[in-house]
């Protein structure tokens, strides 16, 4: 019956049962030690020889039981250290051993009662009382065992003294019986408290595990969103470069690789004529067709806009030309959207490793050149990089030499794009953007900045930008004292170990508060020598400069950068804003949720229509930037904008002005 009752009352949760067993078995070691010492003392500690053989037999039997319990305890603890959970059988086995031990003590008290001297009697009573008191704690892992053990130790012995006929013993018997019920109650209270504590701890552990799982899932979702294009679900630019570089490290000698640069022909017209929703449908369908055409573990990426990049390998059974033809045919099939049938073509450029280039960046550049050659009038389904295209590279070299002299030749100037505070509509900050007039042409920063980084001119240019920005900001403060300025900084500039001090000195020379200067860095900045760069950024922060992360969500280092630095602003990449109504809104919401805990403010760049501005403001985005408000402005135009937009002007009027 005892076993049946224990089975019915045992804990259903294996972890809770294991915690109870852990408490019982770990407490068994001192209990066993006390039992051995106490039993030996009663059996051999007195000179009364009237029952020596009986005591010896009792002690040997009890010692045998204790030995079995010791083995059981040793093996259970050994299994527990290996992470094996306890079972119901372990509970039955432990309970049986404890109850049998109590029965041996009860037998001793009853069997030897009339044979004990007064000293032995009192010693026995003291020992079993002490052991009953200890059992309330040692056996608190199981209420039934604890209470049964206590009663078996005290109740039979106390009743024996009451009915034994010795008046002196009767009083001890009543006291012992009263003590037994007191200890019974204490054992119940201790066991209930222990059970509650174990349940509470397990509930907390389950809650913690659940929270950790949710954090892992949400973090994984953010990472997934940050490494994939939200519209097509292909790899984004930085994730592609990561994967491609990893693939390069595993190149085998008998396999050639190639980069395919694919650009859609006619997409802009379709997008302009039928709307962005139709354009998005076209891009999604094109991405599906590219994935269907690529059946040999190619790495596929949406490079941006209507551009796609594929990294493929060539074997004796698979040639690059075949893939280019298949891609062309797949994309030429009319695309059926929800409202229209769109005819689409594409230009494909190919550059091969190792024949044309030795790095991913070189191959992408060469494939890009090849693609533009096809787009600008080339014939055939694709263009493979060739010697004719080298002339374009010569032009880049010409540009590289020109940009190296741009500061001394005074060919650089700044334009400024306003950043709008969403809650008020006021211009809170301007981003300084660099322009280069070279031989009568305005060269795009996307062209000359990489060239300047390669030839080292970016350091001189970078300090010029900071100096010129501070000079302009000082003049702008006469119109708006609270205006801030945001300056883009290249990774190459951080190679100067005195960069932080030089920037601080330039700002001080113009009496500008560092808090009015936002240093804008991209996530890729931290892909190399991360610790050194973090220390330099922290040095800027210590001086009061604000730090912004640009193009957030397009690089693998997003989360680690924000964790390592006390970032002030995060700029959500324009690709998520462009696709806000598709999947871009997910990462915007995720960034906003993180902002509450990490204390940064959020800037959305690339805001081009009122619907985007309204949605972003509703989501709580702090600042907005884009053509909806202003294109990059010349300095004098910016001054006029500031004069026509006083602080008291409200947001609707500002938005109206921006749309006019």
Asked whether residue 355 carries a pLDDT value surpassing 70, the answer given is yes
The H-or-E segment that residue 509 falls in is helix 499-509
The answer, yes or no, to whether the previous bond of 82 is cis (omega within 30 of 0) is no
Q: Residue 261 — pLDDT band, cuts 50, 70, 90?
A: very high
pLDDT on residue 388: 72
Asked whether residue 501 carries a pLDDT value surpassing 90, the answer given is yes
pLDDT on residue 41: 83
Lowest model confidence (mean pLDDT) among 211-220, 233-242, 533-542, 602-611: 211-220
For residue 520, give the 3-state DSSP assignment.
strand
pLDDT on residue 523: 64
Asked whether residue 657 carries a pLDDT value surpassing 50, the answer given is no
Asked whether residue 348 carries a pLDDT value surpassing 90, the answer given is yes
Nearest Cα neighbor of 521 from 557, 484, 548, 542 is 548
In contact, 137 and 91? CB cutoff 8 Å: no
pLDDT on residue 555: 53
The H-or-E segment that residue 188 falls in is helix 167-227
Read off φ and ψ for residue 163, nearest 5 degrees.
-95, 0
537-543 average pLDDT score = 92
CA distances from 425 to 168, 224, 430, 534, 591 (A): 97, 33, 14, 33, 22
The model's pLDDT over 603-643, given as tens digits with 9 standing for 90+, comes to 999 999 999 999 999 999 999 999 999 999 999 999 999 98
Which residues, listed in sequence order, are joined to residue 520 by a DSSP beta bridge?
A: 488, 548
The H-or-E segment that residue 236 falls in is none
pLDDT on residue 302: 93
Q: How many residues does the chain have?
A: 660
Q: Residue 559 — pLDDT band, cuts 50, 70, 90?
A: low
pLDDT on residue 610: 92
Read off φ and ψ for residue 64, nearest 5 degrees.
-60, -45
Give the mean pLDDT of the chain: 84
pTM for this entry: 0.47
The model's pLDDT over 99-153, given as tens digits with 9 standing for 90+, comes to 998 898 888 888 888 887 788 888 888 888 888 888 878 887 788 888 888 888 8
For residue 407, give the 3-state DSSP assignment.
coil
Q: Residue 529 — pLDDT band, cuts 50, 70, 90?
A: low
pLDDT on residue 7: 37
Lowest model confidence (mean pLDDT) among 150-164, 242-256, 351-365: 242-256
pLDDT on residue 78: 87
pLDDT on residue 653: 36
Which residues, listed in sequence order, are joined to residue 522 by a DSSP beta bridge?
A: 550
What is the rounded CA–CA span in Å between residue 131 and residue 548?
69
Percent pLDDT > 90 in the chain is 30
pLDDT on residue 328: 92
Higher pLDDT: 507 or 92? It is: 507
477-491 average pLDDT score = 92
3-state secondary structure 23-60: HHHHHHHHHHHHHHHHHHHHHHCCCCCCCHHHHHHHHH
The model's pLDDT over 37-57, given as tens digits with 9 standing for 90+, comes to 888 888 887 776 667 788 889
Higher pLDDT: 500 or 188? It is: 500
Asked whether residue 351 carries a pLDDT value surpassing 60, the answer given is yes
The sign of the torsion formed by the CA atoms of 182, 185, 191, 193 equals negative
List all residues 6 or more positions away from 368 whose beta carbon is below 8 Å from its beta carbon. Answer: 261, 349
417-435 average pLDDT score = 94
The model's pLDDT over 266-321, given as tens digits with 9 standing for 90+, comes to 888 888 778 889 999 999 999 999 999 998 889 999 998 899 999 998 766 668 88
Q: Residue 421 — pLDDT band, cuts 50, 70, 90?
A: very high
pLDDT on residue 48: 65
Higher pLDDT: 470 or 388? It is: 470
> How many Cα neighbours within 13 Å face the side chain of 258?
24
Nearest Cα neighbor of 431 from 631, 647, 602 is 631
pLDDT on residue 473: 95
pLDDT on residue 541: 92
């Amino acid at each position: 019956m005892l076993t049946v009752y224990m089975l019915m009352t045992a804990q259903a949760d294996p972890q809770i049962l294991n915690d109870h067993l852990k408490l019982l078995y770990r407490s068994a070691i001192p209990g066993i030690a006390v039992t051995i010492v106490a039993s030996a003392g009663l059996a051999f500690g007195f000179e009364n020889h009237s029952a020596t053989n009986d005591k010896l037999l009792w002690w040997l039997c009890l010692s045998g039981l204790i030995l079995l319990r010791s083995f059981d305890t040793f093996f259970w603890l050994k299994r527990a250290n290996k992470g094996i959970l306890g079972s119901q059988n372990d509970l039955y086995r432990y309970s049986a051993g404890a109850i049998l031990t109590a029965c041996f003590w009860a037998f001793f008290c009853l069997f030897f009662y009339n044979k004990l001297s007064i000293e032995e009697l009192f010693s026995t009573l003291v020992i079993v009382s002490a052991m009953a008191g200890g059992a309330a704690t040692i056996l608190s892992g199981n209420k039934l065992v604890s209470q049964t053990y206590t009663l078996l130790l005290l109740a039979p012995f106390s009743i024996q003294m009451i009915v034994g006929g010795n008046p002196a013993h009767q009083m001890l018997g009543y006291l012992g019986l009263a003590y037994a019920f007191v200890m019974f109650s204490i054992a119940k209270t201790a066991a209930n408290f222990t059970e509650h504590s174990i349940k509470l701890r397990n509930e907390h552990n389950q809650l913690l595990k659940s929270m950790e799982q949710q954090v892992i899932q949400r973090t994984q979702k953010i990472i997934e969103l940050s490494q994939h294009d939200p519209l097509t679900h292909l790899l984004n630019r930085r994730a592609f470069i990561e994967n491609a570089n990893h693939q390069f490290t595993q190149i085998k000698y008998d396999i050639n690789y190639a980069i395919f640069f694919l650009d859609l022909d006619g997409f802009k017209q379709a997008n302009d004529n039928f709307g962005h929703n139709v354009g998005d449908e076209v891009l999604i369908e094109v991405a599906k067709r590219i994935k269907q055409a690529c059946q040999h573990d190619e790495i596929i990426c949406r490079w941006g806009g209507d551009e796609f990049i594929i990294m493929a390998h060539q074997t004796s059974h698979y040639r690059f030309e075949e893939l280019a033809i298949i891609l062309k045919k797949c994309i030429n099939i009319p695309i059926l959207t929800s409202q229209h049938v769109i005819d689409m073509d594409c230009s494909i450029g190919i550059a091969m490793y190792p024949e044309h280039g030795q790095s991913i960046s070189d191959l992408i550049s060469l494939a890009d050149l090849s693609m533009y050659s096809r787009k600008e009038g080339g014939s055939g389904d694709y263009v493979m990089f060739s010697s004719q295209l080298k002339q374009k590279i010569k032009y880049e070299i010409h540009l590289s030499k020109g940009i190296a002299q741009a500061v001394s030749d005074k060919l650089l100037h700044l334009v400024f794009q306003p950043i709008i505070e969403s809650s008020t509509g006021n211009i809170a900050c301007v981003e300084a953007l660099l322009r280069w007039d070279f031989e009568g042409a305005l060269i795009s920063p996307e062209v000359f900045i990489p060239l300047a980084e390669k030839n080292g001119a970016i350091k001189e240019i970078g300090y010029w930008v900071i100096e010129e920005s501070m000079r302009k900001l000082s003049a702008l403060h006469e119109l708006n004292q609270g205006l801030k300025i945001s300056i883009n900084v290249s990774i190459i500039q951080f190679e100067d170990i005195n960069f932080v001090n030089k920037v601080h000195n330039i700002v001080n020379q113009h009496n500008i508060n560092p808090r009015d200067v936002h240093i804008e860095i991209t996530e890729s900045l931290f892909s190399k020598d991360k610790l050194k760069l973090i220390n330099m950024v922290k040095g800027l922060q210590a001086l009061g400069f604000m730090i912004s992360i640009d193009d957030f969500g397009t690089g693998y280092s997003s989360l680690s950068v924000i964790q390592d630095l006390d970032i002030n602003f995060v700029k959500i990449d324009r690709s998520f804003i462009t696709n806000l109504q598709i999947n871009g809104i997910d990462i915007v919401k995720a960034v906003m949720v993180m902002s509450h805990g990490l204390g940064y403010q959020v800037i959305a760049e690339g805001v081009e229509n009122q619907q985007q501005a309204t949605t972003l403001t509703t989501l709580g985005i702090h600042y907005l930037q884009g053509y909806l408000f202003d294109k990059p402005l010349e300095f004098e135009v910016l001054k006029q904008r500031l004069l026509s937009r006083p602080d008291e002007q409200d947001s609707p009027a500002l938005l109206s002005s921006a749309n006019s």
